[in-house]
């Protein structure tokens, strides 16, 4: 049977004509009234696009017999956007549309326009930042946006100290504050961060003693000794009539006086009616992340040093030549890389490769990667560096046959935006970047066109300078910063392969390099690292995982301590990073040795 199929032409034309008729008021059979504004509509179109309107017009309700219908709980602008979406599947938004999308979440939930509700949630998720995470968390909770709940909650707990200083938090109701400060996974080093946030909220709202007492019972007390050492803060005037605070002050006096019964309180803070310590703030542990950059299908691996357990951490997207970094505020990011375009064939490789500009951050609370704003420049084989919470993308290549880039850009998580910065003195790829205080050092190495060069970027002045070059033209196996010095492992070309041989240490105060060319024993063939933890260096080699508390002088690997013989380097080009004081591994599958 022959079929004449013009649906690809007729359906868009039908949609366009129906919307034109709505706008002109032609053949409409109902009028929606929202806050004094009238919207002519077609009942059948609304019923087809919304179960809410379908029930209104087909279930015997009064509105089914009326031409004029009042809609409550929806703003006029939101109603206009909802109708645009029902008729056309599109919503036109201005650049400053954040509040509009939040209103659309509420309207689409009420009117049961599921596709619009989902689209609004997807639009909001990558735009969650500390400045809006509180309002988005409670919005998502109210309107069943589960993914937005997770994104907002992770931002809230991981940046709680920052979030607690913002007006969004200070304007919350008491019950909302209690819910947030009671979260088991607040990303704070000690209970004082939560305590000071509570005091700030109390001062802002002029709360009385009963309110303070309720809040104080939810302030995490770990570490209790730190709280006790801050007796002056605890005796702040806003806590003067709070029995809970008075008890804690008395405990502080006992600790300072060395009384024995204070120790009992410290070991059992629940005796004062306090909430137990943070589940995940009571222990400090390093997590070493191993990243294979040259195999696009390989997962990341995460090794938790306290339990000596290895986990598999899936990447957010498939790519090779990507870059990763653990920022100074302890967040794991992945960016860029080469991806395969299977739809386009290349005569040389049969697969078209292209560089991407993706940028993701890992949420260990929910074991998810959250997409953030893409970089301005698509790139691979580049370096990431971090100063504070900012992340810098440095150099790289735009495509496999392209020249090395000198482009530098900075990501600001407060705004979820990238900003172009001063360019590298010369294009570079295959390099390493590390941070000392506010300065970023770029180590070029053999894989870079600049070989021995080392560049220093002063973030405070947005300028680049050259510093002392590396001791020799060698491949860099890894680089890290410990005690304000750069530690790096260099590999030499021996017997048709790269073999790690030398540890080199750079001191920025003297602008000099020291090196130990006999650092790596002959039988060690592969090295990953070094990487700095809380108070030690880690180095992974074919013998296992080694640790060292450096003295500042290069010492042979044989003088390091073997920490775990079961942790060995992965094949291929790998890099390692350290999440210091890592506190949560949620839902990751373990790797057996």
How many structural domains are present in the chain?
A: 3
Instruction: Specify if 142 maps to a domain.
Output: no
Same domain? 313 vs 413: yes
Longest dimension (CA), the chain: 96
DSSP 395-430: --BSSTTSPPP--EEEEETTTTEEEE-PPPSS---S
**Tens-level pLDDT at each residue, the chain (593 residues):** 788 888 888 888 998 999 999 999 999 999 999 999 999 999 999 999 999 999 999 998 998 889 999 999 999 999 999 999 999 999 987 767 889 999 999 999 999 999 999 999 999 999 999 999 999 999 999 999 999 999 999 999 889 889 999 999 999 999 999 889 888 777 665 556 777 788 888 888 887 777 777 777 777 654 344 444 344 444 555 555 555 555 555 554 444 444 444 444 444 444 444 444 444 333 456 788 887 766 666 788 888 888 888 888 889 999 988 999 999 988 999 999 999 876 655 555 556 889 999 999 999 888 899 999 999 999 999 999 999 999 999 999 998 888 999 999 999 999 999 999 999 999 999 899 999 999 999 998 766 666 788 999 999 999 999 999 988 777 888 889 988 999 998 887 777 777 788 888 999 999 999 988 778 776 777 778 888 887 788 888 888 888 887 665 667 777 888 899 888 877 666 677 777 655 556 666 676 65
What global pTM score does this model have? 0.85
CA distances from 504 to 187, 315, 469, 479, 517 (A): 35, 32, 12, 9, 8
Query: Reduced to 3 states, what is the DSSP secondary structure of residue 458?
Result: strand
- C-alpha span between 274 and 185 (Å, rounded): 17
CA distances from 23 to 17, 20, 64, 473 (A): 10, 5, 22, 70
- Sign, Cα dihedral of 330, 335, 340, 341: positive
The secondary element (H helix, E strand) that includes residue 8 is: helix 7-24
The secondary element (H helix, E strand) that includes residue 167 is: helix 167-170
- C-alpha span between 425 and 435 (Å, rounded): 18
Same domain? 219 vs 292: no
Domain finish residue from 272, 301, 333: 272
Same domain? 193 vs 314: no
Same domain? 562 vs 585: yes
Q: Is residue 378 a contact partner of residue 356, using CB atoms and an 8 Å limit?
A: yes
Phi, psi of 177 (to 5 degrees): -65, -45
Same domain? 320 vs 443: yes
- C-alpha span between 346 and 351 (Å, rounded): 5
CATH assignment of the domain containing 558? 2.120.10.80
Same domain? 201 vs 237: yes
Q: Is residue 276 a contact partner of residue 224, using CB atoms and an 8 Å limit?
A: no
CATH assignment of the domain containing 116? 3.30.710.10
Instruction: Specify if 133 maps to a domain.
Output: no
As a dihedral over the C-alpha atoms of residue 163, residue 168, residue 169, residue 172, rounded to 10 degrees, the angle is -160
pLDDT of residue 553: 60
The b-or-e profile of 433-462 (16+ CB within 10 A means b, else e) is: bbbbeebbbbbbbbebebebbbbbbebeee
Q: Tokens representing 256?
A: 């300072």
- 143 CB neighbour count, 10 Å cutoff: 19
Same domain? 468 vs 376: yes
Nearest 5°: the CA angle 43, 48, 51 is 95
Same domain? 490 vs 390: yes
User: Strands 537-541 and 475-482: what pairing?
Assistant: unpaired
- 268 CB neighbour count, 10 Å cutoff: 11
CATH assignment of the domain containing 253? 1.25.40
DSSP 34-92: ETTEEEEE-HHHHHHH-HHHHHHHHS--GGGG-SEEE--SS-HHHHHHHHHHHHHS---
User: Strands 68-70 and 30-34: what pairing?
Assistant: parallel
Query: Reduced to 3 states, what is the DSSP secondary structure of residue 560?
Result: coil
Q: Is residue 456 a contact partner of residue 467, using CB atoms and an 8 Å limit?
A: yes
Among 385, 402, 221, 494, which residue's Cα sits nearest to residue 502? 494
H helix and E strand count, the chain: 17, 30
Instruction: Specify if 154 maps to a domain.
Output: no
Same domain? 487 vs 349: yes
Instruction: Specify if 134 maps to a domain.
Output: no
- C-alpha span between 8 and 6 (Å, rounded): 6
Same domain? 69 vs 206: no
Cite the beta strand spans of 200-293 per DSSP E: 287-292
Q: Which domain holds residue 484?
A: 287-590
- 4 burial (CB, 10 Å; 0-12 / 13-18 / 19+) is exposed
Spatial neighbors of 403 by CB under 8 A, at least 6 apart, are 397, 427
Domain finish residue from 87, 103, 127: 127
Q: Tokens representing 191?
A: 């209970």
Determine if the peptide bond prior to 530 is cis (ω within 30°): yes
Instruction: Specify if 517 maps to a domain.
Output: yes
- 499 burial (CB, 10 Å; 0-12 / 13-18 / 19+) is middle
Same domain? 405 vs 338: yes
Domain finish residue from 112, 127, 142: 127
Instruction: Specify if 485 maps to a domain.
Output: yes
Rg over alpha carbons for the chain, rounded to the nearest Å, is: 29
Same domain? 22 vs 71: yes
Q: Tokens representing 11?
A: 């359906």
Spatial neighbors of 281 by CB under 8 A, at least 6 apart, are 186, 188, 189, 190, 191, 220, 222, 583
- C-alpha span between 539 and 555 (Å, rounded): 13
Instruction: Specify if 503 maps to a domain.
Output: yes
Instruction: Specify if 192 maps to a domain.
Output: yes
């Amino acid at each position: 049977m022959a079929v004449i199929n013009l649906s690809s032409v007729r359906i868009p034309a039908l949609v366009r004509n129906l919307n034109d008729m709505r706008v002109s008021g032609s053949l409409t059979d109902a009028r929606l009234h929202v806050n004094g504004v009238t919207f002519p509509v077609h009942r059948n179109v609304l019923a087809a696009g919304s179960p809410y309107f379908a029930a209104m017009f087909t279930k015997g309700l009064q509105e089914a017999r009326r031409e004029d219908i009042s809609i409550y709980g929806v703003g006029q602008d939101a109603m206009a956007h909802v109708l645009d979406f029902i008729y056309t599947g599109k919503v036109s938004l201005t650049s400053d549309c954040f509040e509009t999308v939040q209103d659309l979440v509420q309207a689409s939930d009420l009117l049961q326009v599921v596709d619009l509700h989902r689209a609004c949630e997807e639009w909001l998720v990558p735009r969650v930042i500390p400045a809006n995470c509180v309002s988005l968390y409670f919005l998502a909770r109210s309107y069943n946006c589960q993914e937005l709940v997770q994104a907002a909650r992770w931002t809230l707990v991981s940046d709680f100290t920052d979030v607690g200083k913002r007006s969004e938090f200070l304007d919350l109701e008491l019950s909302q504050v209690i819910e947030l400060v009671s979260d088991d996974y607040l990303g704070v080093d000690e209970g004082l961060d939560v305590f000071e946030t509570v005091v700030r909220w109390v001062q802002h709202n002029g709360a009385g003693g009963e309110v303070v007492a309720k809040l104080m019972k939810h302030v995490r007390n770990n570490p209790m000794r730190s709280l006790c050492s801050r007796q002056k803060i605890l005796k702040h005037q806003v806590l003067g009539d709070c029995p809970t605070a008075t008890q804690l002050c008395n405990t502080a006096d006992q600790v300072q006086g060395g009384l024995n019964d204070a120790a009992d309180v410290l070991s059992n803070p629940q005796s004062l009616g306090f909430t137990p310590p943070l589940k995940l703030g009571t222990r400090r542990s390093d997590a070493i992340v191993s990243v294979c950059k040259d195999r696009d299908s390989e997962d990341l691996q995460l090794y938790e040093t306290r339990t000596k357990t290895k986990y598999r951490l899936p990447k957010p997207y498939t790519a090779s030549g990507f870059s990763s970094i653990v920022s100074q505020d302890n967040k794991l990011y992945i960016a860029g890389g080469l991806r395969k375009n299977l739809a386009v064939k290349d005569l040389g490789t049969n697969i078209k490769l292209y560089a991407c500009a993706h940028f993701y951050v890992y949420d260990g609370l929910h074991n998810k990667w959250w997409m953030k704003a893409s970089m301005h420049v698509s790139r691979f084989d580049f370096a990431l560096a971090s100063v504070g919470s900012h992340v810098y993308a440095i150099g790289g290549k735009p495509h496999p046959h392209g020249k090395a880039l000198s482009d530098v850009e900075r990501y600001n998580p407060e705004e979820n935006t990238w900003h172009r910065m001063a360019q590298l003195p010369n294009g570079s790829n295959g390099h390493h970047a590390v941070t000392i205080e506010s300065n970023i050092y770029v180590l070029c190495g053999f894989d870079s066109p600049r070989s021995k060069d080392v560049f220093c970027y002063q973030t405070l002045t947005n300028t680049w300078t050259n510093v002392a070059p590396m001791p020799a033209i060698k491949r860099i196996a890894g680089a890290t910063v410990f005690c304000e010095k750069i530690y790096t492992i260099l590999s030499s070309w021996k017997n048709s392969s790269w073999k790690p041989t030398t540890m080199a240490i750079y001191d920025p105060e003297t602008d000099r390099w020291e090196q130990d060319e006999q650092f790596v024993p002959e039988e060690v063939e592969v090295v990953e690292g070094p990487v700095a933890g809380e108070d030690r260096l880690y180095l992974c080699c074919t013998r296992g995982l080694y640790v060292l508390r450096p003295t500042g002088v290069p010492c042979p690997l044989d003088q390091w301590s073997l920490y775990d013989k079961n942790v060995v380097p992965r094949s291929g080009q790998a890099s390692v990073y350290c999440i210091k004081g890592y506190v949560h591994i949620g839902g990751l599958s373990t790797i057996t040795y």
